[in-house]
Amino acid sequence: MAARTTFEYELSELNSELIKMGCLIEDAIENSILAFKNQDKVLATQVINGDCEVDDMEKQIEARCLRLILRQQPVAKDLRIISTAQKIITDMERIGDNAEDIARISIGIKGEYAFSMVKNIPEMSRTAIEMVHNSLNAFVNCDLGLAKRTIEQDDIVDNFFCEVKADLAQILKEDKDKDNNTIDLLLIAKYLERIADHAVNICEWVEFSKTGERKNNKIL
């Protein structure tokens, strides 16, 4: 097999692994929110236990990237693609961690209507999940336009977070007995905000892979 053909095959395998890892973290976010909504402790536990698979995928992809660099010695654009993959998996792993955090919190939440206590959390979660999905599609398809549109969505999530904080402050002011749930809901909103920030990081690395230029990431 010619060197270039081998390299392109390895890149294709790298993309496949990234897609698989992406599916894992998307499922983790969706299931953590579903567990929170339905107070499903079994599903929450599955999300927590499943984080090990995300961690293993990160190590597997990192090893493949290093092998590509050492064996193929890529230059210019090819090296940027591999470097981008190395950076992206770090954000993907942290998204998985945030989903696990939400699942852990959901186990301890009490109150049948906790999910609907704050109107913006459901929409905030949908937007964050959409951003993660689109950021990964932007990388796999080298879609700079989609990356830029996804970055713009971050303002929506940030606005939701501000509204959630204000709503929770008002709830706590009116009923101090809801103190524990209020703190848990604020933490869930914060983790959703971080998930969106990691999606922005992924999009900014997509821009780097296409242009060679990189902005400062929101989360290091």
What confidence tens digit (pLDDT) does each residue in 157-191 have? Answer: 999 999 999 988 888 887 766 666 788 889 999 99
Query: To the nearest whole percent, how much of the chain has pLDDT over 70?
Result: 90
On whether residue 216 sits in a domain, the answer given is: no
Exposure class string for 195-212: b at 16+ Cβ within 10 A, else e: bbbbbbbbbbbbbbbbee
* Average pLDDT, rounded, for the chain: 88
- The pLDDT score that the predictor gives to residue 73 is 75
Higher pLDDT, 182 or 152: 152
Enter the tokens of residue 163: 């509204």
On whether residue 133 sits in a domain, the answer given is: yes
H helices of the chain, in order, are 3-38, 41-72, 76-108, 120-140, 144-152, 154-174, 179-211
Find the range with the poorest average confidence among 41-50, 166-175, 189-198.
166-175
The C-alpha atoms of residue 112 and residue 106 are separated, in whole angstroms, by 12
On whether residue 218 sits in a domain, the answer given is: no
How many domains in the chain?
1
* Structural domain containing residue 9: 3-211
On whether residue 22 sits in a domain, the answer given is: yes
Banded pLDDT at 27 (limits 50, 70, 90): very high
Average pLDDT (192-213) is: 92
pTM of the entire structure?
0.90
On whether residue 102 sits in a domain, the answer given is: yes
- Cβ contacts of 213-217, under 8 Å, gap ≥ 24: none
- The pLDDT score that the predictor gives to residue 174 is 79
* Rama region for 143: left / alpha / beta (φ>0; ψ in -120 to 50; rest): beta
Angle between helices 179-211 and 120-140 (to 10 degrees): 20
- The pLDDT score that the predictor gives to residue 3 is 60
CA-derived radius of gyration, the chain: 19
- The pLDDT score that the predictor gives to residue 17 is 93
- What type of residue is 16? S
The C-alpha atoms of residue 186 and residue 169 are separated, in whole angstroms, by 10
- The pLDDT score that the predictor gives to residue 7 is 78
Enter the tokens of residue 128: 């964050």
pLDDT at 114 over 90: no
Banded pLDDT at 9 (limits 50, 70, 90): confident
Residue in 179, 210, 192, 176 with CA at minimum distance from that of residue 81: 210
CATH number at residue 195: 1.20.58.220
pLDDT at 220 over 50: no
